[in-house]
């Protein structure tokens, strides 16, 4: 069974119950992680950071520097990571609200700014670019139906960032793109739900299995 970390606490808690059931049915052992209290990341095969309200816990998230460092290093090492909305915000360089910026994980080269009104709200349609780290990302482009609801925007984003999706409908990151891709990280404002048309859990676990197999082969080669 694959050990999949699930960040679930007061700051992050938006998950569909059937998606969590699909993870377990797909062979995942869910490992609970508290971004406010856990000081280090345990040994994992993958990590999921869902939506929530990280803007309400900026001081606590910033203060937990050791966990932020562990997550940053895990992404750099190629750990499969999927982050949605609040998770994307947490992985950014900083988050600004009420005039003050707080340091976040820093693996996404951009800064989150909170606004008084929603930046993106409602149903979205995405078209795959083929750049997703998930194995299915190499398949012919298809449209994915999902939704978004966020009061924040991602600003000062580095110009060389790659995106997993083009926006057919909705705002996403900038009205044109969503789904930041870096190594085996996919982070988007869009909230996906595993359906018959697009089973994101299956695609994510396929990457987890692929990465685990590569690590095992590398260890055997060294031995």
Measured CA to CA in angstroms, residue 107 lies from 5, 44, 158, 193, 222 at distances of: 18, 18, 12, 25, 29
Give the H or E element holding residue 222: helix 200-222
* 156 token code pair: 């000062």
- Give, as one character, the DSSP assignment of residue 191: B
Q: Nearest Cα to 152, choosing from 85, 213, 212?
A: 85
Q: What is the DSSP string of 86-145?
A: HHHHHHEEEEEETTEEEE----EEEEEEE-SS-SEEEEEEEEE-S--SSGGGGSPP-EEE
* Residue 145 among the catalytic residues: no
Separation of alpha carbons 204 and 148, rounded Å: 20
* Catalytic option among 7, 11, 23, 85: 85
Separation of alpha carbons 190 and 14, rounded Å: 12
Taking the CA atoms of the chain, what radius of gyration do you get in angstroms? 16
Number of Cα atoms under 13 Å in the Cβ half of residue 153: 11
What amino acid positions are annotated as catalytic residues? 85
């Amino acid at each position: 069974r694959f050990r999949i970390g699930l960040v679930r606490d007061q700051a992050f808690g938006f998950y569909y119950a059937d998606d969590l059931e699909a993870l377990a049915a797909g062979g995942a052992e869910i490992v609970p992680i508290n971004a406010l209290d856990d000081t280090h990341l345990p040994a994992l095969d993958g990590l999921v950071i869902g939506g929530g309200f990280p803007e309400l816990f900026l001081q606590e998230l910033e203060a937990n520097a050791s966990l932020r460092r562990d997550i940053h290093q895990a992404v750099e090492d190629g750990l499969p990571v999927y982050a949605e909305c609040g998770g994307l915000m947490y992985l950014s360089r900083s988050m600004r609200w009420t005039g003050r910026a707080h340091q976040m994980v820093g693996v996404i080269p951009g800064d989150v700014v909170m606004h008084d009104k929603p930046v993106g709200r409602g149903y979205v349609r995405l078209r795959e670019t083929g750049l997703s780290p998930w194995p299915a990302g190499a398949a012919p482009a298809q449209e994915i139906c999902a939704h978004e609801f966020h009061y924040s925007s991602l600003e000062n984003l580095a110009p060389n960032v790659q995106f997993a999706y083009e926006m057919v409908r909705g705002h996403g990151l900038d009205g044109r793109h969503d789904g930041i891709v870096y190594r085996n990280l996919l982070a988007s404002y869009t909230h996906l739900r595993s359906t018959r048309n697009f089973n994101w859990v299956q695609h994510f676990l396929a990457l987890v299995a692929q990465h685990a197999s590569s690590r095992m082969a590398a260890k055997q080669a060294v031995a």
